């Protein structure tokens, strides 16, 4: 096994070559079902397990996103579940936030201890809100989501029966996202016979904040914006996932560019470890594709519980780290 053990020169990480892709595959398979690439979990793994703590770790996380996300985006595009109005609003709002996030990380927060506390509080709220949504106590707006869930469950049952034990990838014509209207005030679209809408300005502001956080830590922002769209804007996770992944991909491209070419403090390494990022990305590429493929066979309740639990655990980790040092 020694021939599989290697040292990555940029980051100084020492590990077996199969560890990064394996970890990324498992993480991204589950997180991609909710429109999250998994980078927000890989960052703590790199810092705590691989001891990669310089600002370069943020850029490396962006490389992971760039390599891993296209497979999931392709799957959502193929099945017509890409909510383009939501996608473009997220992208426009996120991009300037990424630029600010870079400077916060490199110039003002080389030690991200205080900022982790802030991120932990935000994620804790989102995670608790997601878990609360499945307790049965949050009744408002549940009728429409339940009807949509029942349609998915019935249709997937029919598909399994038609193709026996194989997993069907086909969806009926009405299970695609159709844009109804787009304006500076509100965006509306239809999905599976139901109409959904969100405030354009509200989504832009959310995306901007997400861009700042994502640009600082290299998480792209899907871990925050996807559950927020579900819990606060009451959009179906089946349509949010693709938009969140696409937005994360494009902001990650910009993030890598910033970390590679923008000025930093003397002696500070900000450029990504391309080889390490590619290995994480290779595993994530497979995991995200499989997660996107299986997402429509997993009830929204399960996806919300899974995402909420992961985010709460991550939030607790960030918050406790602040008080333990």
Burial 36-46 (b: 16+ CB within 10 A, else e): bbbbbbbbbbb
pLDDT tier for residue 264 given thresholds of 50, 70 and 90: confident
pLDDT tier for residue 263 given thresholds of 50, 70 and 90: confident
Nearest-angstrom CA–CA distance, 269 and 146:
49
Q: Looking only at Cα atoms, what is the longest distance across the chain?
A: 63
Name the phi and psi angles at 76, rounded to 5: -70, -35
Domain boundaries, the chain: 2-10+18-162+179-324
High-pLDDT (> 90) share of the chain, %: 25
Predicted pLDDT of residue 159: 58
Predicted pLDDT of residue 323: 85
**pLDDT at position 135 over 80:** no
Predicted pLDDT of residue 22: 96
Bridge partners, residue 187, by sequence: 182, 198
Predicted pLDDT of residue 168: 40
pLDDT tier for residue 151 given thresholds of 50, 70 and 90: low
**If you ran DSSP here, which 8-state letter would residue 169 be given?**
-
Contacts of residues 150-159 at CB distance under 8 Å and 24 or more positions apart, as own/partner, are 151/192, 151/193, 152/192, 152/238, 152/296, 152/299, 153/299, 156/296, 156/297
pLDDT tier for residue 207 given thresholds of 50, 70 and 90: very high
Which run of H or E residues covers position 196? strand 194-199
**pLDDT at position 24 over 90:** yes
Name the phi and psi angles at 281, rounded to 5: -65, -35
The answer to whether the beta carbons of residues 68 and 74 sit under 8 Å apart is no
The answer to whether the beta carbons of residues 38 and 28 sit under 8 Å apart is yes
Mean pLDDT of the chain: 82
Tell me the pLDDT tens digit for each residue of 153-205.
Answer: 676 666 556 655 444 444 555 567 888 999 999 999 988 778 899 999 999 99
Predicted pLDDT of residue 25: 94
- Span of 20-29, 37-46, 53-62, 270-279 with lowest mean pLDDT: 37-46
The answer to whether the beta carbons of residues 169 and 296 sit under 8 Å apart is no
pTM: 0.78
Closest CA relative to residue 94, chosen from 181, 177, 215, 202: 215
Closest CA relative to residue 303, chosen from 210, 226, 214: 226
Tell me the pLDDT tens digit for each residue of 116-129.
Answer: 787 788 788 878 87
Nearest-angstrom CA–CA distance, 53 and 69:
24
Nearest-angstrom CA–CA distance, 107 and 96:
17
Nearest-angstrom CA–CA distance, 39 and 221:
9
Which run of H or E residues covers position 188? strand 186-191
């Amino acid at each position: 096994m020694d021939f599989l053990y290697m040292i990555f020169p940029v980051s100084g990480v020492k590990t077996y070559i199969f560890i990064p892709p394996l970890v990324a595959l498992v993480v991204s398979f589950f997180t991609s079902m909710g429109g999250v690439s998994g980078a927000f979990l890989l960052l703590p793994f790199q810092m705590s397990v691989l001891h990669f703590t310089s600002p370069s770790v943020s850029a490396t996380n962006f490389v992971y996103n760039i390599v891993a996300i296209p497979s999931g985006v392709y799957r959502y595009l193929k099945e017509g579940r890409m909510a383009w109005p939501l996608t473009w609003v997220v992208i426009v709002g996120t991009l300037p936030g990424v630029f600010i996030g870079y400077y916060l990380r490199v110039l003002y927060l080389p030690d991200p201890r205080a900022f982790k506390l802030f991120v932990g509080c935000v994620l804790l709220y989102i995670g608790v809100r997601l878990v609360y949504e499945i307790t049965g106590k949050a009744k408002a707006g549940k009728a429409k989501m339940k009807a949509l869930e029942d349609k998915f469950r019935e249709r997937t049952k029919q598909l399994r029966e038609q193709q026996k034990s194989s997993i069907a990838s086909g969806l009926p014509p009405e299970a695609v996202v159709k844009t109804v209207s787009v304006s500076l005030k509100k965006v509306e679209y239809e999905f599976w016979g139901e109409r959904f809408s969100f405030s354009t300005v509200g989504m832009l502001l959310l995306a901007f904040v997400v861009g700042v956080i994502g640009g600082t830590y290299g998480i792209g922002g899907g871990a925050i914006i996807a559950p927020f769209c579900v819990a606060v804007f009451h959009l179906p996770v089946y349509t949010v996932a693709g938009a969140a992944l696409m937005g994360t991909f494009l902001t990650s491209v910009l993030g890598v560019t910033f970390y590679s070419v923008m000025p930093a403090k003397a002696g500070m390494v900000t450029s990504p470890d391309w080889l390490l990022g590619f290995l994480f990305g290779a595993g994530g590429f497979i995991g995200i594709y499989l997660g996107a493929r299986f997402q429509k066979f997993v009830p929204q309740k399960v996806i919300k519980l899974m995402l909420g639990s992961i985010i709460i655990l991550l939030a607790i980790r960030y918050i406790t780290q602040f008080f333990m040092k």
